[in-house]
Structure 1
Amino acid sequence: MTTSSAMRAAGQPGAAAAATRSPASGSQAIGSRITAAGVIKRYGSFLAADGVSLDIQPGEFVTLLGPSGSGKTTLLNLIAGFQKPDGGAILVDGKPIDRVPTHRRGFGMVFQSYALFPNMTVTQNVAFPLRMAGIDRATSERRVAETLEMMRLSEHAAKTPAEMSGGQQQRVAIARAIVMRPRVILMDEPLSALDRRLRESIQIEIRDLHRTLGSTFLFVTHDQGEALAMSDRIAVMDAGRVVQIGTPTDVYRHPVNRFVAAFVGESNLIEAEILQRRGTTVTLKNRSGQVFEAESRDQIDLGRVAVLVRPERIAVSAEPGPGAMPATVRSALFLGEIQRIEAELESGERVLIRCADTAGRRLPDPGATIWVSWGSEDCWVLS
């Protein structure tokens, strides 16, 4: 495969992806373009990467999202150079890198295990890549000081890893990865060992860091919340393939199939029959005979389909109204800012509802009848 044909095979991101990139004022993208074109990786008869094509633009933040065994870490390792592909091509700025050893690719790397040198101070850990690259002492000291300040680690400069919390150690690992100001930074589930609050805090720091540096970030996670919060685009992987790539909004609101709908966020899948189509609006009838409308971009033939309705898009009322369906409450939980209600429609299908806890909203009792509804813009026909 030629370089030009490999890049065409990987495709281009949409304008919406470019619009989501918002580097900090005064910064500019210094990152490299990464192209994976028809990449294959086999382990015996198992295809860990099954013809993966992906095009990441300079300075973009792309997340590989998927369950264990989906191929996301395999693809990251192939790009990093830890493994060699059995087919296809990987290019950086249009040049094949398959034969370039890992240490010469110039990527910054952050892993789940911090991999810090226990006998070195924070300063020494961060300075290590500069020392290996033969950077002079004055430049190294200045660069390390800038990086520690950026990662809010200056006051910990003389500590060893054993004297620091998990979150602080992860900041050191990130500082070491960025101290050379690499054009590409690879992160393999770097936050999975942290507690929820700390993880959310460092998510914001990584996102701000991306805007400041302008490097290309490729981030691997199985946590859909992380992917939605941090990414310019998300590549959802399953069985060694990219099944959908798009902005967080598009992947969440307009999944291409049931797998993406179920994996990215909580979902209700309502079985229904298409009665009519007008433009992008489809009229459907569910199993108990209620008629409602949904949106669809695809030309779908008349027949039975699954309709995605996100739990937060379902409106709840104690009284019947236009287009509302009766449902029996099976469980109701108060979770602070939201109420989480599971109810059963007349068709026998269960729906999950997440509604804001507002003044005067009473938590319904199990067995009570409520009325649920949603608009055509709140649900999506899956092809």
Structure 2
Amino acid sequence: MIQTQTSRDPRAEASPSGRAGRGQDIIGAQISMREVTKKYGAFVAADRISLDVEPGEFITLLGPSGSGKTTLLNLLAGFQRIDGGDILIDGKPITNVPTHRRGFGMVFQSYALFPNMTVAQNVAFPMRMAGLDRATSDRRVAETLEMMRLSEHAAKTPSEMSGGQQQRVAIARAIVMRPRVVLMDEPLSALDRRLRESIQIELRELHQTIGSTILFVTHDQSEALTMSDRIAVLDKGHIIQVDRPLEIYRHPKSRFVAGFVGESNLIEAEVLERRGDTATLRSKAGHVFQAGSRNVPSIGKVTVLIRPERMALHDGPQPGTAPATVTSALFMGETLRIEAAMEGGETLLIRCPDTAARELPAPGSKIHVGWGPQDCWVLA
């Protein structure tokens, strides 16, 4: 469903813009959430959440079902009332502002296009509701259709278009008024993988062009990593970590973030020594290895994160490698997915590129795995 909430605002005539550093102005608003709380009986869907979103930023709310991400979006949109705290746009509270006066563009999973209208008429609908003159509306619709690569489809009805094209129309209708804030609730989840990846790239380019602040909700980690300036990871009504995608992926601050955002190997180890930028550790299996010293205490036990694609696969023992026994191996096209058990009982997941020289190892076969200090991170 897609809705575009409009107000009679001259911002509809603002020129397209982008994020700072892109050579264009930013039209996006600053969003501030202060101790926002929402309860459904005894269930706390949002537990005193605070979050600041910068003007023109693309931020993704990422988390499993029931984590509170859609609740936050609904509270920001005005579909639900908060039970505590406040939400501010450019420093002004909007708690008592009705949904239709917030001026947000909104895109949801269901397209909800008018079946009896053409593509151009669907996109023009918010401008007609805002009372803009025909010339302005026609010009803005033409600009937006070109931006979304829909110009040649302007006269078609939704039934004559594919799902991906219909979603582009839904997005076009949400941005045609150049809203300062665009809210997106899992808008790509109904699309197939290849089309979803294509529209992800288009949305990033669109964001750089229009300069609106975008709040995007998804449970798809790849989607969040690909599209976002920053990601807010939620769980059980709390924000667990807010950071740039690279930091979220490489330096998660908890086991939950490490496990939820991408695949991970978590190895329990003991600190043997810290020296300069590296620390020497020993796993339960007795494997001694080095890791970057970030977050490493002087002594004690730690949890080490190693992403599957950072593990190197060797046919025989080499300095710094550890023996393991293959428990499963899958051919996945461009990659091989291998699970193996170390002597200490740890299960490792390895992803390596498929090459002509590499055979898919059989379950029960012996392999050796290794990684460098730059390939593993100690959880804080």
Q: Which residue of 1 aligns with 2:172?
A: 175
Structure 2 residue runs without a partner (length 5+): 1-17
Q: What is the rounded CA distance, in whole Å, between the counterparts of 2:34 and 2:106 in structure 1?
A: 22
How far residue 291 of structure 1 moved from its aligned partner, in angstroms, is 1.3
SS in 2 for 1:277: strand
Which residue of the other structure, out of 136, 139, 146, is the alignment partner of 2:136? 139
Which residue of the other structure, out of 102, 108, 113, is the alignment partner of 2:99? 102
Q: Per-residue CA shift, 1:333-364, capped at 9, x if unaligned?
A: 22221111111101111101001123422222
Q: Which residue of 1 aligns with 2:295?
A: 298
How far residue 298 of structure 1 moved from its aligned partner, in angstroms, is 2.9
How far residue 165 of structure 1 moved from its aligned partner, in angstroms, is 1.1
Q: What is the rounded CA distance, in whole Å, between the counterparts of 2:320 and 2:153 in structure 1?
A: 60
SS in 2 for 1:361: coil
How far residue 24 of structure 1 moved from its aligned partner, in angstroms, is 8.5
SS in 1 for 2:290: strand
Q: Which residue of 1 aligns with 2:9?
A: none
Q: Per-residue CA shift, 1:181-211, capped at 9, x if unaligned?
A: 0111110000000000110111111110000
Q: TM-score when scaled to structure 1?
A: 0.91
Q: What is the rounded CA distance, in whole Å, between the counterparts of 1:131 and 1:28 in structure 2?
A: 26
Q: What amino acid is aligned across from residue 70 of structure 2 in structure 1?
A: T
Q: What is the rounded CA distance, in whole Å, between the counterparts of 1:299 and 1:357 in structure 2?
A: 34
Q: Which residue of 1 aligns with 2:41?
A: 44
State whether residues 283 and 293 of structure 1, in contact with CA within 8 Å, keep that contact through their aligned partners in structure 2.
Answer: yes
Q: Which residue of 1 aligns with 2:12?
A: none
Q: Which residue of 1 aligns with 2:304?
A: 307
1:221 lines up with 2:218 in the alignment: yes
SS in 1 for 2:49: strand
SS in 2 for 1:343: strand
Q: What amino acid is aligned across from residue 367 of structure 2 in structure 1?
A: I
1:281 lines up with 2:270 in the alignment: no
CA-based RMSD: 1.5
Greater CA drift, 79-88 or 25-34: 25-34
Greater CA drift, 284-293 or 203-212: 284-293
Q: What is the rounded CA distance, in whole Å, between the counterparts of 2:19 and 2:104 in structure 1?
A: 22
Greater CA drift, 277-286 or 312-321: 277-286
SS in 1 for 2:74: helix
Q: What amino acid is aligned across from residue 86 of structure 1 in structure 2?
A: D
- Give the length in aligned residue pairs: 363
Which residue of the other structure, out of 353, 359, 364, is the alignment partner of 1:362? 359
Q: What amino acid is aligned across from residue 278 of structure 2 in structure 1?
A: T
Q: Per-residue CA shift, 1:220-262, capped at 9, x if unaligned?
A: 0000000000000000000111100111100000011111011
Q: Which residue of 1 aligns with 2:27?
A: 30
Q: Which residue of 2 aligns with 1:9?
A: none
Q: What is the rounded CA distance, in whole Å, between the counterparts of 2:188 and 2:365 in structure 1?
A: 42
1:382 lines up with 2:379 in the alignment: yes
Structure 1 residue runs without a partner (length 5+): 1-20
How far residue 120 of structure 1 moved from its aligned partner, in angstroms, is 1.5
Q: Which residue of 2 aligns with 1:161?
A: 158
* Residues 1:190 and 1:296: Cα distance change in structure 2 (over 3 Å): farther
Q: What is the rounded CA distance, in whole Å, between the counterparts of 2:42 and 2:186 in structure 1?
A: 27
Q: TM-score when scaled to structure 2?
A: 0.92
Q: Which runs of 4+ in 1 moved over 6 A?
A: none
1:323 lines up with 2:320 in the alignment: yes
Greater CA drift, 329-338 or 227-236: 329-338
